Amino acid sequence: MRLRTRWLSILPAMVAGYLLTVAIWAWATFDTAMAHTLALADGPLSARQTQILLRVEDPVFTTHHGVSLASGQGFATISGAVARDVYLDGADLGGAGGALQALYRSVFACCKRIDLGRDVMAVVLDARLSKARQLALYANRVYMGTHEGRQVRGLPAASRAYLGKPLNRTSDEEFIGLVAMIKAPNAYHPVRQPAAYTERVARVHALVRGRCQAQGWFDTTLGQCGP
């Protein structure tokens, strides 16, 4: 009992120390991690497409600082997704920074839904990288399922794979269909899971058109936006 009490008393300090270490590491390795990130041109999205994407995936993206508790947000933000790609899914950093990268990769693999370390990385990245650049990276790298045996990464590639046209030629309805997939692109796959895809698109369409709204932080399925 005494040991348990002692453990609980030092746990907050351990967590704080861990998060401080993550913050220092993320700040110190930012330039190196970004150097390994594929260089991209300006964001591929039109103003209307940006509006649709943010309405669904990150309603307060332009004002939050990497993390958010907005309705329908769940655990993820665009900043968090970009931070994961830059810091964890990118090239091995090497040295002491690489050793910590390996540790944080294992923590994320274990506990991704409650990984406060990834959230700290998102805060650091948001402080170092413009919102426009974050959005461009996200739009070009977000996982969009598998098609014909290959992973599809990014909205431009998804538009070519699933719609057979460039992203800048998609209608609002077609683009909403792509955005609807992001939450779980293989579960909402337009070819392999057409019924689930159709229902998800209808819910997202209702949200975008203002006919409903997310009911709380965890309502990423848009339960009140039924067809």
Burial degree of 169 (CB within 10 A; 0-12, 13-18, 19+): exposed
141, 39 Cβ separation under 8 angstroms:
no
Whether 147 has a pLDDT exceeding 90, the answer reads yes
At residue 98, the pLDDT reads 85
Structure tokens at 49: 């497409």
pLDDT of residue 163: 96
- Residues 200/43/84/153 CA torsion (nearest 10 deg): 60
Give kind and range of the element (H or E) at residue 179: helix 172-181
pTM over 0.85: yes
The band of 100, judged by pLDDT with boundaries at 50, 70 and 90, is confident
What residue ranges define each of the domains in the chain, with the CATH number in brackets? 2-38+65-134 (no CATH), 142-208 (1.10.3810.10)
Tokens linked to 158: 């998804």
Confidence at residue 9, expressed as pLDDT on a 0 to 100 scale:
63
For residue 165, give the DSSP letter.
S
Q: What is the pLDDT of residues 35-77, one digit of tens each?
A: 888 766 556 899 999 999 999 999 999 999 999 888 777 778 9
The pLDDT, as a whole number, for residue 173 is 96
Give percent of the chain above pLDDT 90: 57
Helix (H) or strand (E) holding 147: strand 143-147
